[in-house]
Structure 1
Amino acid sequence: MFDKLQAIKERHLDLEQQLADPGAATDQNRFRKLNKEYSDLRDIVQAFDRYTQAKRQLDESRAMLKCEKDPEMRELAQTEIDDLQQQIPELEQQLKVLLLPKDEADSRNVIIEIRAGTGGEEAALFVADLLRMYQRYAERQGWKCTMLDYTESSMPGGFREAVLEMSGNDVYATMKYESGVHRVQRVPETETQGRIHTSAASVAVLPEAEEVDVEIRREDLHFDTYRSGGKGGQNVNKVETAVRITHAPSGIVVACQEERSQLQNKERAMTMLRTKLYDRQLAEQQQERADLRRSMVTTGDRSAKIRTYNYPQSRVTDHRIGFTSHALPQIMQGDLVDIIEALKLHDQTERLQTAAES
């Protein structure tokens, strides 16, 4: 591990020198790649520096304890040794986590699709609740959140489906844990007997694709335009600004109606199409190495029930890791930090165990 860390530190220094070159910014694509690699390695280098400094201080304190005669100085050296012996294993564990292979898509923005499942109108209302939860979480994270498309239900305030885009720093690395079936248990507004109903909604978190990720032929696309049903200014319901794209080879259909112009909606829809095709490629790659993947957290299996929101008991349970919280109101307001951090920790533990066994 030490040799690998030393090589990373040398690479980080080399990148720093390349970025400091006045001519580095002339090629913007190369500059962005260098800057991203430099940023990705920075946390590892800083953790390695803290580790080597702690090891050096431990050696110095042990040498002091061996030759020092003054009782107070010996006590001081022993205290420092005890502290450092506790810190060093923690720093080693931190380095092991940082050295775990990263998902290639972790740094990407995401497109999130939320669809009503079993439960009729109550499921549609739950889609709206999840949508608000994610929007507010994005606000807390300082991410940009944009609604791309939606289909309203017959009950006011509900959605049969909603599609939104989140952009920011390492969004997929955080939001990928949300893929799956979310279940809600509560008394619906339409229930006259006070009985608790169970409804569900599926969430798909897709890493946003770039043009270079997938090849799309113009002749494979069919474009439709229609009048937007959402908020888009005075042109709404007068001009066909909404765009629907069908990709013939895959049968994938995407639509966007939230922008004010047809061109903007077309660009957004093309991003959605690329993302869906890219997600399909990733799923095929993951299937090929499914026998090597142990953690249910990272499979992205959208058919699995991952979380239950129980309103009568104000309880949220993530079934993948047995996490339970009684702060349901705060969670529905976007306070997902505790759940997501627990999922990340579980994922890291599983991957560290796999790495140790291999």
Structure 2
Amino acid sequence: MSTIALYYPWMRFRNENWLKLAILTWDSVGRIQPRLTMDVDSELVTQLRAETDFLFGVEPSRREIVAVADVFREIVELGGDDLRKRFSWQQAVEETSGERAVSGPRADYPGLRWVYAGQSGPKMTPPLLSSFEAADLAVVVDEDDAVYVGLHPALARIYLTALADVVSQHRALAPATDDVDAHSAVGTLDRLYELLLDEDVAVPAIGDVEGAYIHLAVEASIRPDHLETVPLDTLISFRDRYGGELAAFRAHVASLSADLGTIAAIEDPVVAEKHLQSVYNAKTRPQLDELRHALRALGVESGIGLLGIKVDISKSTAGTLLGAGLAATGSPAAMAGGTALAVGSYVADRRKARRAAHRESPVSYLLAVDKELSGRSLIDRMRRRGR
């Protein structure tokens, strides 16, 4: 299981909540991004890039874009007419009413998605560009000495997903997306003919099932409506503090490979999500509940009394040298001092046990997410005070 993701099919993140969850899921996230691309990222992405090395750019190698181009060019030669019926660039422009997503020459072609094909880090080869253009599948513009290829959105999604498939395989990355219309990138190049010419092609909904499972489990531990209010600095700090717990949770997810393996073939994304939730309810949630129960049992209850702690001193000191000495002296001062020592020892032991329970549980990462990022702990404290 790779701990580094490759974002696809687009270059700019569409869902900032998804990106925040990705910060809690992956060690880092790459995206296919030419060096000379203008910086039009959101404030969140700009801050994340400035303060961490979580995001990084990937430039496809010539070998990678040629591998994709060879298959596409063959399909264009075989099914040019059928492809035009589904993916002509004119059709996309006609279906778009007045949309102007970009400025400059590209603004004259609303509704298209643009693929960089310039000199520095291109995503497409010149021969494939020419094939697309000759088949009326693309319009090419030269903007500020940079070449862009405009494609029908569906064709652009398939092309960039195929490119992500090749890049992720060559670089041992896990494809990940926030585009609900994107299918699994894994194996896209192998099924490219069916994707382009067969509307009923069967495609698995999830490529990296283990990564999707971690994403789901983390999301289950946090209030989605609260996540958008969590500052980026808080997420970055949390990652730094709980890296070990995340590694332990990944090992737990790896142990579920037999359960998760069958989900990788499911084509319906809704059904696949239901199956992931079912595995979570059966395998992970019980361990999380067990950890919560164990920590409550080891908890130190606050209340009125010595040091503000409720402890049965007779039980905590019985059978010890301290307990025998206190019983022999009968001195109130000695009893008070001894009680303080007993309480201190009792609290230290309980805290040590709690730390051990955290350390040994494979799901302690989820508990930390729930406690520190969900916003529930503050609400619970307020409710307890009210009672």
1 or 2 for the larger relative contact order (CA 8 Å, sep ≥6)?
A: 2
Which has more radius of gyration? Answer: 2
- TM normalised by structure 1 equals 0.26
Higher helix share: 2
Structure with greater strand percent: 1
